Amino acid sequence: MSAKPILWIVVPCYNEEAVLPLTAPMFLNKLEQLAEQEKISRNSRVLFVNDGSRDRTWELIREMAAKDERVLGICQSRNRGHQNAVLAGLMEAKERCDITISIDCDGQDDLNAMDEMVERYWEGFEVVYGVRSKRKTDTFFKRATAEGFYKLMNALGAEIVFNHADYRLISARVLKHFAEFEEVNIFLRGLVPLVGFPHTTVYYERAERLAGESHYPLKKMIALAFNGITSLSVKPITLITGCGIIFSFLGLAAMIWAIVEAILGETAAGWASLVCIVCMLGGLQLISIGIIGQYIGKTYLEAKRRPRYIISERTWEKPERRWLEDETEEKTPEKGE
Ligand code: UDP
Ligand code: MG
């Protein structure tokens, strides 16, 4: 029985006519190579997601699909941004394959990391994050902002893997559960960890873009960071409450000081009462906003209607990975004797 996993490589493309002709053959080669090594099924595919490009990207994808049955394409009705393009591809893939690997189409992410990702999958991991080991090729500015971004995100309560972009393997099984996360503002890097299941990371070096230009200027990066934080955590609201409490204490101290000054008679008339009012109100207002915020935050999290639990195994069900069951001995690459 040839029950090797069917892999779909999901590739978002936005105005990529310059780079697609270079990278598409690389993706296909990789499929060929992995199939050759018997790590994936011959029915594996590359799925290009055209994210409302304004150049010839979609025509290119259609031409490739007509020539090669391993190439598939879907076209979004308009530009919806990278995250939504990847999501569209993954959701399209999940019913038709066993594993997906999402990767950008500009050749920056090392395709050879896929070998290791698939191997990790054979070992039992359902999610494998590609992590950049170095950022040599990025400019200092890009590197500093990007690394700052991960740190800030984590500090503000969005759990994300450091230096992991959207190059990752996800099994169809995890994707089916992921589909139950119904939120509209998606930040895949932060959401995938929430689904759970065994996960691991592989390291690769990030190269330069092969052609074309980055579509992630600082403005989009800030928007992405903001979206990531606000869609994953209500920590900023808690911070406001915290500030309120601190300011209230400071206010109290200032009030005592003002009263003492007033008693000692070293102040102008009315000064102490004014200081007291200002100090009290500042802290109180912040606390009030924080409390209201807590309720809004709860409503916000509830409104997402995320699944409350996800069951990964049941004793009375067969494991999902058929090929591991039948052919563990021959097919698991590193089943060393
Ligand atoms: N992309 C997309 N929609 C967008 C912007 C980008 O699908 O609105 C795709 C793009 O084609 C590429 C990937 O997302 O495959 C990453 O974009 P890019 O390489 O420009 O970002 P960078 O690597 O510079 O952060
Ligand atoms: Mg890129």
Token pair for 226? 């903001």
> What ligand is nearest to the CA atom of residue 215?
1
Protein residues with C-beta less than 5 angstroms from the ion ligand 2: 104, 106, 108
Q: pLDDT grade, residue 324 (50/70/90)?
A: low
Task: Look at residue 101 in the predicted model and tell me its pLDDT.
Answer: 96
Which of 36-50, 196-210, 221-235, 323-337 shows the lowest per-residue confidence on average (mean pLDDT)?
323-337
Task: Look at residue 331 in the predicted model and tell me its pLDDT.
Answer: 47
Alpha carbon distance 215, 252 (integer Å): 50
Q: pLDDT grade, residue 216 (50/70/90)?
A: confident
295-308 pLDDT per residue, tens: 888 888 888 888 87
> What's the gap in Å between 159 CA and the centre of ligand 1?
22
107-164 pLDDT per residue, tens: 889 999 999 999 999 998 999 999 988 766 677 877 787 788 788 878 887 788 888 8
Q: How many residues does the chain have?
A: 337
- The domain locations on the chain are 7-217, 235-304
**Alpha carbon nearest to ligand 1 atom 24, residue:** 214
* C-alpha distances out from residue 179 to 265, 285, 314, Å: 69, 40, 20
Q: Which of 20, 82, 149, 204 to mutate to test the pocket of ligand 1 (most atoms within 8 A of CB)?
A: 82
Is 129 within 8 Å of 164 (Cβ atoms)?
Answer: yes
Closest CA to 189 of 210, 212, 163, 222: 163
Task: Look at residue 336 in the predicted model and tell me its pLDDT.
Answer: 43
> What ligand is nearest to the CA atom of residue 214?
1
61-108 pLDDT per residue, tens: 999 999 999 999 999 888 888 999 999 999 999 999 999 999 999 888
Q: Which overall architecture, per CATH, does domain 7-217 show?
A: Alpha-Beta Complex (3.90)
Alpha carbon distance 75, 51 (integer Å): 6
249-260 pLDDT per residue, tens: 988 888 888 888
Task: Look at residue 1 in the predicted model and tell me its pLDDT.
Answer: 44
> What's the gap in Å between 212 CA and the centre of ligand 2?
9
